[in-house]
Structure 1
Amino acid sequence: MDTTRRTILRGMAAAPVAAAVGGLALPTEAAAAAGKYRLKGRSAPRWAPGHSYRSVINRLSPLLGGPVPVAEVLTRTPALEAKRIPHWPTRDDDDGTKPRPDSEPEELLHAFRWADTDFFTTEWRPQGITTNYDANGSAPRTLLVSWYGRLGARRQGARISIVKWDAAGEPTYQHVLLVEPNRVRTEESEHDDFIGTDLHAGGIAWYGNKLYVADSTETRPGLRVFDLSRIFKVTRGPGVGRQPDGTYQAYGYDYVLPQCYAYDASGSATKGLTFSQVSMDRTGRRPALLVSEFTGAHCRLARWELRGERSGYLHSVKSSWEGTANGEDGVQGAVRANGKYYFSASRTSKNPGELRSWSGGTRRGKRESFLNIGCEDLSYSRMNGRAALWSLGEYANDESDDRRAPFSRYVYAVRP
């Protein structure tokens, strides 16, 4: 996992102009509170503070035909077809060659692979995962997976896949580009617009209608918030944002999901924390976000409590708990369940990853089982009384330092 993404799109934004804030009520701009880790809310782009995300989205909505519900994204345009896998394939199953196989995760409950276009591409890598169980506690029927663009797709930023999940059928999915609303001024006019993001999207968490995306950029770490009730259909085309003919495009995608808020690290201590992943934690008195980091010989974690699902925003910008899991490195995802913390830890492109547990305190956790090579984020759910940990693999045999890396780009659930 890359821990930082260079800001490549900031220069695409034009100079800001003044406007009134509109739309639904947002959390107030909170001053930094006392505490080890703190965040500061932000409702507009840094380069255009006079234009809130919400006001730009509200003005864009009628131009884009209004929002598309999550459930309809897969029906308004042809969905891609994933393939359920009853057992863990080796590379031999995919292209006829036979290097050393990947390790099958233990206690495998469900697994599927992406359509060929996404299974083999080297321009996008899947990273984060969350389900509607995170959103509202119901049995998983919809999965969200984040990807970051690299190579030729780097300037596009990040996308999510909305996956229709059914334990008895084949999954279907649709990609949605993450965008940042923007107000643009030209010599001739000014208009509402959007650009791509520069997110690595290493972890995501769905709560109510809000999607939280970890922002691990060194210069402005924190969390970005996207409103899943405001997905919009755009005109398919190679550009991004408003085009000369007045239509809106998104690098060939049919849908965009605009950013509606952000929480930036505040204070030197918090800015030293890498916001590598984020997950939902429903084990405390309030639902909370659990942030964990990939870097270092130890994994630092912090929890921020949330308001109710209708709001979806943070209850406080001050962390309610902080901890350090000694000796845990390479952590790609962390969840709290069954009185423990579970980590997915990657071990390069040469070795299987590990599912590890930690009960708090100063002692190092233990390995519960192996995961696939290139394992990524974690999300906890329950379905039919059965607990599951969802994870996914990022590699598509594209590692320059190890051409033997097996195709392991699967989405799967294991028993904790």
Structure 2
Amino acid sequence: MIRKIVLTALVCALLPPAAAQADTFKSVPATGLTWTRHGVDAAAYARLDNLAKFLPRRDLKFVLEHPRQTTQSAAGSPSLGQVGPGAVSAFKWSDRDNTGKWIPQGITGSAAAQADGLIGGHRSLLVSWYQDTAASPARVSFVNADSLDGATYNSATLVIPSGRTVRPIKTHAGGIAWYTHYLFVAETDVGVRVFDTNYILGAKKLPPTADLNAPFVLPQVGFYRQAKGAGLTFSFVETDRTAPALITGKYQDKKYNRRIVRWPLDPNSGLPALQASGAWKMPASNVQGGLMHNGRLLAASSYDPKASGGIGELVSGLPDQPAAHFRWPDGAEDLHYAGTSNRVYSLTEKSGDRIVFAIDASSVGLTP
């Protein structure tokens, strides 16, 4: 009996993870996966309009054309060498943001918001950051992505309107998605927060405790809260422009088969439906970002049990079909698909090696 147990344990230890669970994005029922909308109504916009009487309203064109910081070359980044499909472009943040208390998490771009990828005459990338403190405030950086060589950027603190002033939001901001003028920010145990990029406000008149020294603030206009019993975690969120939808999913340490969920978007209002239209179990653990495009799913994991040195993996596949696995950087976070260039963007959070990089989407099975 002892010999049999030892032999069985040895065989299991030699089997790859796919032998222990289905190596596919397995379709599961979306029944009961609902959420409710709060705000994003006339009363919420009245509060924003009232705030805009005291704080100047700035469009994205103004924000991008008045940058405070400049990115730098990512040459020599250890993370770039860990991108299995190979990076086609990349940058590193300014010295101040490459280290420090702000930690990058989510990524999206104007290619998710608009079909032509242009807003205010520019292509842009948006990145969310949080501080690993008790207060845990968050901000979004607006990167002028017309060229990633020497790209410039500006930031806005995420805030709650409060009369003539604002207060920073306590959130991890683990993922962001953009559709039309709405920015959706993942709120781990709740759902998503909603912001309107038409209401970026100048922060010059605010005290440092409100704007956290950012030149702009972005006030929340509402949120979506998961229904009781849905059992979801919102670690990340991304836009799927094909039959538009939000894609949300769960991070869990060394736990496979967590769900990734699809929420249809109304192409007229730009807001999500209250009932999910699909759900799948992911053949990876520690998933930091996921997306869907033309029916194919991607999941970016910061843990690959087959790799050494803490390297992650990118998993790509059609639902219920064998998935493909690619080497992925240590410390990589969210994903963003840019259909205008057929690229997949991601970013890393490790202090001293905080980069944004892109791969050719066709190398992982995505086509425009």
TM-score by length of 2: 0.81
Q: 1:393 aligned to 2:348?
A: yes
Deviation at 1:168, TM superposition (A): 6.5
> 2:130 is aligned with what amino acid?
Y
Whole-Å separation in 2 of the counterparts to 1:103 and 1:168 = 20
How far apart, CA to CA, are the structure 2 residues paired with 1:233 and 1:290?
31
Identity %: 31
Given that 2:51 and 2:161 are in contact with CA atoms closer than 8 Å, whether structure 1 keeps it comes out as: no
Work out the CA distance in 2 between the residues paired with 1:229 and 1:278: 20
CA distance in 1, matches of 2:208, 2:149: 35
The answer for the alignment partner of 2:46 in structure 1 is 55
Determine whether 1:143 maps to 2:125.
yes
The verdict on how the C-alpha distance between 1:199 and 1:411 changes in structure 2, with shifts beyond 3 A counting, is same
Q: What are the within-5 Å matches in structure 2 for residues 237-248 of structure 1?
A: 239-241=208-210
SS in 2 for 1:214: strand
- The one-letter amino acid paired with 2:289 is G
Report runs of 4+ in structure 1 exceeding 4 Å deviation: none
Matched, 1:69 2:59: yes
1:104 Cα offset (Å): 4.2
Cα RMSD after superposing both structures: 2.5
Residue 63 of structure 2 corresponds to residue 83 of structure 1: no
Counterpart AA for 2:353: S
Displacement of 1:89 in angstroms is 2.3
Counterparts of 1:84 and 1:342, CA distance in 2: 27
- Secondary structure at the aligned position of 1:84 is classed as coil
Tell me the equivalent position of 2:107: 129
Q: Which ranges in structure 2 are unaligned for 5 or more consecutive residues?
A: 1-29, 362-368
Displacement of 1:206: 0.5
Match of 1:257 among 210, 218, 234: 218
SS in 1 for 2:333: coil
2:169 maps to amino acid:
T
The AA in structure 2 aligned to 1:128 is: G
Tell whether 2:85 aligns with 1:106.
yes
Q: What is the match of residue 411 of structure 1?
A: 356
Structure 2 counterpart of 1:55, one-letter code: A
Kept after mapping to 2: 8 A contact 1:129/1:391 = yes
Output one character per residue of 1:247-280: Cα deviation in whole Å (capped at 9) or x when no partner: xxx1211100000011101121x2x110111111
Q: Contact conserved, 1:290 with 1:334, CA < 8 A, in 2?
A: yes
- Per-residue Cα deviation, 1:45-81 (whole angstroms, up to 9, x for no partner): xxxx9x943222111111113x1001111334x4200
Q: Which residue of 1 aligns with 2:24?
A: none
Partners of 2:350 and 2:336 in 1: CA distance: 19
**Residues 369-397 of structure 1: CA deviation (Å, up to 9, x unaligned):** 222110100011134xx42110000111x
Query: Deviations 1:346-384 (Å, cap 9, x if unpaired)?
Result: 0299422211113212x66331x222110100011134x
Q: Aligned to 2:58, what secondary structure does the other structure show?
A: coil
Greater RCO (Cα-Cα under 8 Å, separation 6 or more): 2
CA distance in 1, matches of 2:336, 2:184: 13
Give distance in 2, aligned partners of 1:168 and 1:262: 32
8 Å CA contact retained: 2:199, 2:218: yes
Is the partner of 1:53 in helix, strand or coil?
A: helix
Is residue 160–residue 168 contact of structure 2 (8 Å, CA) maintained in 1? Answer: yes
Task: Kindly indicate whether the alpha-carbon contact (under 8 Å) linking 1:237 and 1:251 is maintained by their aligned counterparts in 2.
Answer: no
Deviation string for 1:116-147 (max 9, x for gaps)?
000011x1110100011100122471000001
**CA positional deviation for 1:237:** 6.5
Contact 1:53 1:181 in 2 (8 A): no
